[in-house]
Amino acid sequence: MPDGTSGKPAKPRPRGWVLASAGVLVAVLSAFPAVVPNAVGNLGSLLETFLPWTGLAAPVLLGLALLRRSVLAAVSLVLPVAVWIAVFGGRLLPAAPSAGDLTVLQHNVGEENPDHEGTASSLVRAGADLVALEELTPDVLPVYEKALASGHPHRAVTGTVGLWSRYPLADSRPVDIRPADVGPGWNRGLRVTARMPHGDVAVYVAHLPSIRIRPTDGFGSGRRDESAAKLGAAVASETLDRVVLLGDLNGTLDDRGLAPLTSRMASARERFGFSWPAVFPLARIDHVMTRTAIPVAAWTLPATGSDHLPLIARVDL
């Protein structure tokens, strides 16, 4: 058809330009998730929580490009694939040999866990020097005390979080990480000094508030973010140089809501280490983080009766 001005036929638009644009968008979101604001429903944090899964967009777009028979759409997928490999490809490489002089284990044992005895036995077999647990209700606490007592004679428990250690513990105290609208009975933060052969280490155990996704509120991370800010402030004011943080932080390392911690501490990023939900892990929300120490390796252990997988790490002090 004429274009209405020169009388020449209009040049047809290349087939698949919508799919090509979608590929460019996926690449941008994978590389720069911060462009998505948190102003509406905390969508930025939602994207960052599941950021590695943006890679699934490539095969979907490729299938659509083949159905559309669009060379443009197929070729354009080179960009999102290249970006994903640049951002996450290193996590697919074989893990480095585990160096380090301290083995630590982090596990949310799960309030609805039907087999705490089995869970406790699997944690003992892991052979960690420090074992941090969350969701320790009064009725199940004796199970873990009994199972861990012989190999980890030193313990500190406050509220629903606890730490068991091969090494002596001192200066145990709660850490107030309660959101403003939560009552005083909510206690999910602990700080203790571990007397290591290499010197004292401040160990924090924390369980940040859970996140709910609702149609009205979106990604409800407000309480979690507030608690993360308080925990970050506690770490910042810590007088000991070496700090190890073990906890269910209900967020990933990519989530801007954990910036008060990720900006101050290091974490072993090798492999993906998805720890939740145990039946089909989608995100790594259980963490081992350090300050003035090097987390050299981290990996998940087989499932227990909890809805979280245990996370174990080697730390170089």
Do 186 and 307 sit in the same domain of this protein?
A: yes
pLDDT in tens, 268-299: 876 788 999 999 999 999 999 999 999 989 99
Do 22 and 50 sit in the same domain of this protein?
A: yes
Do 151 and 242 sit in the same domain of this protein?
A: yes
For residue 3, being part of any structural domain is answered with no
For residue 21, being part of any structural domain is answered with yes
Helices (H), the chain: 17-31, 43-49, 57-68, 71-76, 78-88, 116-126, 141-148, 222-236, 259-262
**Among 46, 62, 92, residue at a domain's last position:** 92
Do 86 and 122 sit in the same domain of this protein?
A: no
pLDDT in tens, 148-187: 999 999 999 999 999 999 999 999 999 999 999 999 889 9
Do 83 and 121 sit in the same domain of this protein?
A: no
* CATH at 137: 3.60.10.10
For residue 8, being part of any structural domain is answered with no
Mean pLDDT of 21-33: 96
Do 72 and 216 sit in the same domain of this protein?
A: no
**Among 92, 119, 145, residue at a domain's last position:** 92
Q: For the chain, how many structural domains are there in total?
A: 2
- Contact by Cβ (8 Å): 309, 281: yes
* Strand 154-158 with 161-165, pairing: antiparallel
For residue 219, being part of any structural domain is answered with yes
Helical pair 17-31 and 78-88, crossing angle rounded to 10 deg: 10
- Nearest C-alpha neighbor of 41 from the set 179, 180, 211, 221: 221
Do 74 and 193 sit in the same domain of this protein?
A: no
Q: Which domain holds residue 79?
A: 17-92
pLDDT in tens, 211-262: 988 877 789 999 999 999 999 999 999 999 999 999 999 999 999 999 999 9
Do 63 and 148 sit in the same domain of this protein?
A: no
Mean pLDDT of 22-29: 96
- Nearest C-alpha neighbor of 286 from the set 274, 294, 278: 274
**Among 70, 92, 114, residue at a domain's last position:** 92
Task: For the chain, give the mean pLDDT.
Answer: 93
pLDDT of residue 11: 60
pLDDT of residue 26: 96
Do 36 and 113 sit in the same domain of this protein?
A: no
pLDDT of 40 strictly over 80: yes
